[in-house]
Amino acid sequence: MEREGENLRKSWHEEVDNIFNSLQSSIRKMKDRRLSALSSHQSILQDSGSKLARITKENKKILKSNKVSDVASYKSELKNFRDIPTDVDVKIPSLNSNTVQGRELSIEVGEYKATLTQTSLCSLTDEVSILSVRKLLDKAKVIASIPSGIKPLSAIICLGTNEAWFHSEDKFIRRIDGRGSLKEKINTKCEPYPGDISVTRQGELIYSDYYSRTVNIVRQGRIETLMTLPQGWVPQGLCCTRSGDLLVSMCTLDGSHYKIVCYQGQAATQEIDKNDHGQNIFKGGESGVYLEENYNGEICASDMDSDTVIVMNKTGNVQFFYDGTPAKRNNSFQPIYIATNSLCQIIISDNKNDCLHILHQNGEFLRCIDNCEFLRPTGLSVDSEGRLWVGCQESGEIKVIQYME
C-alpha cells in the first residue's frame, strides 16, 4: 500500500509538471507570434521610411529643376503612405490563476487552461475499490462484430464508447459507429496510404504521411500540417499522450535507423534511440515501429523488424523487452499495434498467431486472448468503457471484446 501511494505521488507530481510544461510551451508560442508580428511591422515601417527618404530627395531635385517636363510629370505618392498603420495590435494576455483551498486549482493564459479538481474522499474510495476488483475474464467475449467493408484493416482509434477511426491500404481514413455505419471519410491524399493515426485530447484526428514527411491534423473537416520532419527522416507511428505531447516514431529513408521523438507543439523536446550503453534500441528495417503510452506514463513500442515489444520510461530508459516466448505459441511472435488499459496492462496484437498478448506493466506475461476467432489481428484500441476494439486484417471486421469483469 505504501509503495502504491508513493507511485501515485510521483504520477501526480508528473501530471503537474506536464501541465506547467504545456503552459510554458504555450507562453513561448504566444511570445514568438507577437515578436513575429512586431518584427513584421518594424520591417514595414523601415521600408516605408526608406521610400519616404528617397521620394523626398527626388522632390527636392524637382523643386530646384528648371525643366517644365519634370514638374508636369510629377505625381504625388502621399496616398500610398496614408494606410500604413502607425501601431500594431499586439495584446499581451495576463496569467490568471484561481485557488479554492482543497477543491480546485486552475491556471489560464491566452487559450491555454488547466484545472486540477479534488474529488471527494468517498468517490475516490469508490473508484479505487472498482479498480481493485477488476480482473481479467477467464474467457474473453465478443460483444459485437462490426463490418467495416474495407480490408485489410490497419490502425484503429476509439472515440468514446461507440465510434472509431480506422484506415486501410488506401488514401482514406474512415469513422464508423458500432453498427458499421460510415460517419465520416477523410481523403488524406497520402501515397499510398497513411502511416498511422491517433487522436488528440480534444478529439482531433492526426495522421502521418510518409512521402511528404508530414504529420497532419484534421480540424473541422480541413487538413492542416502540424509539422514537417527534417530532411532525410520520415514519420510512421503516432501517439498523443495524456499530457498533450505528441510521440512520433520516425526512420531514415533507407530504414536503417529508427528513433522516437517527443514534440510539445512543434518543438522537439526529447529523442529516444539509444540505450545506456549507446546501442540502438530499435533494429531498423522495412517494417517499422508503432507506439502507445501506458497509463503510468511509460512508452510502449512494437519493433516489427525485431518482432519485439520494448517498454521505456518517460526518460527513454528501457524497462523491459517482450519477445512472445512466455505465451508458447505455435508460430513466431509478430507484434503490430499496442493498447493499454486503466490497470496499466499492455495488450499486443500478434498477427501470425491470431491472438492478443496481455502483459502486466512490469513485463510479466498474464495470458493470451485466442478464443475470439481473430483473423490476423492488427489495430487495437480501448474505448471509454474499457472494452477492446480489435481490427481483423483479413476479414475487415472490427471485433469489440469484453475481456475484464
pLDDT tens track for 126-165: 444 444 456 889 899 999 999 999 989 999 999 989 999 9
Average predicted confidence (pLDDT) for the chain: 85
**Residue bearing cell 527513454:** 316
The reply to whether 207 and 336 lie within a common domain is yes
The reply to whether 342 and 388 lie within a common domain is yes
Please give the helix or strand (H or E) that residue 14 lies within, else none.
Answer: helix 2-64
Lowest mean pLDDT among 10-14, 279-283, 323-327, 336-340: 10-14
The reply to whether 310 and 379 lie within a common domain is yes
Helix (H, G, I), strand (E, B) or coil at 41: helix
pLDDT of 47-79, one tens digit each? 777 877 887 887 787 777 777 676 767 777 776
- Kindly state whether residue 128 falls inside one of the protein's structural domains: no
Plot region of 160 (φ>0 → left; ψ -120 to 50 → alpha; else → beta): left
- Kindly state whether residue 129 falls inside one of the protein's structural domains: no
Residue 350 is classified by DSSP as E
Total structural domains within the chain: 2
Domain boundary among 58, 84, 118: 118
The reply to whether 259 and 315 lie within a common domain is yes
Q: Which domain holds residue 76?
A: 2-118
Q: Which of 57, 23, 43, 46 is nearest to 265 (CA)?
A: 23
Distance CA 46, CA 217 (A): 37
Domain boundary among 52, 87, 118: 118
Residue 199 clears pLDDT 50, i.e. is over it: yes
Instruction: Report pTM.
Output: 0.69
Domain boundary among 92, 118, 144: 118
Task: Copy the grid coordinates of residue 280.
Answer: 540502438
